Amino acid sequence: MNLNISLRPQSRRQFVVWLVALGLLLTAVILFLELAEDVWLNEGFAWDATLMLGIHRLSQPWLDKVFWLITQTAGPLIVVLVVGTAIWFWWHDEKITALLFIVSFVGTFLLNSLLKLIFARPRPDLFPPLVVEHSYSFPSGHAMSAIAYFGLLALVLWQKGHRGWAVLAGLWVPLVALSRVYLGAHYPSDVLASLTIGTIWLVIVWFVYTGHHVSHSS
């Protein structure tokens, strides 16, 4: 029996996107579990201190200011960005997209708070930090918040055809992650774990969002 299955171009694109997203999700899960296991067992990472000190050696007064400004965009200020973006989409009658930003951020905040309490990793003390934090180190709340907002914003903008702005929003995530290491607030493994768990949450949220759109458009 000759079974011939053909997909429309749009269906093929959707299949490829979902396949890539699934691969990204599985990779992020494996990497996070590897990092979390070593932190839980207090085994440490040989590359953590080396990489962190290497980044610190690049410090300059003007870079201090640049990275301080970058890190602020994923601090308490991000609540204003999230709420403002949600209001904008709600005002333009895109209520599901507005709620998407709220769910993405609140879910990330709760997940990060729980993980910090579970792992209770102290902050790095390799050099005097340029920002003082009082919570635990693993994982980075700033990096996770950056994915929850800027990563999601990149996906929404890309979907709407604003490719340039989408790339800019996407690139802002690693800049925030780098700023946390540069400023001495986190180990590199902290932000790497944040990028993985943040990606996992973002993929789940985006799957639900796109699935909702597909079900309502069919």
Rg of the Cα atoms in the chain: 19
In a domain, 199, yes or no: yes
Angle among Cα 134, 127, 122 to the nearest 5 degrees reads 35
Q: Give yes or no for residue 218 having a pLDDT over 60.
A: no
In a domain, 204, yes or no: yes
In a domain, 43, yes or no: no
In a domain, 38, yes or no: no
Report the pLDDT value the prediction gives residue 11, as an integer from 0 to 100: 63
Q: Give yes or no for residue 217 having a pLDDT over 70.
A: no
Work out the pLDDT band at 209, boundaries 50, 70, 90: confident
Q: Give yes or no for residue 3 having a pLDDT over 50.
A: no
* Domain coverage including residue 147: 52-121+130-211
Q: Distances from the Cα of 66 to the Cαs of 11, 21, 90, 183, in angstroms?
A: 43, 32, 33, 11
Rounded to whole angstroms, how far apart are CA atoms 50 and 55? 9
Give per-residue pLDDT as tens, 47-83.
999 999 999 999 999 999 999 999 999 999 999 999 9
Report the pLDDT value the prediction gives residue 213, as an integer from 0 to 100: 57
Work out the pLDDT band at 182, boundaries 50, 70, 90: very high
Give per-residue pLDDT as tens, 73-130.
999 999 999 999 999 999 999 999 999 999 999 999 999 999 999 999 999 998 999 9
In a domain, 197, yes or no: yes
Number of domains in the chain: 1
Report the pLDDT value the prediction gives residue 1, as an integer from 0 to 100: 45
Rounded to whole angstroms, how far apart are CA atoms 138 and 218? 42
In a domain, 41, yes or no: no
In a domain, 3, yes or no: no
Work out the pLDDT band at 138, boundaries 50, 70, 90: very high
Angle among Cα 134, 69, 188 to the nearest 5 degrees reads 55
Q: Give yes or no for residue 17 having a pLDDT over 70.
A: no
Average per-residue pLDDT in the chain?
A: 88
In a domain, 26, yes or no: no
Q: Which residue has the higher pLDDT, 168 or 2?
A: 168
185 φ/ψ angles, rounded to the nearest 5 degrees: -85, -25
Predicted TM-score of the model (pTM): 0.88
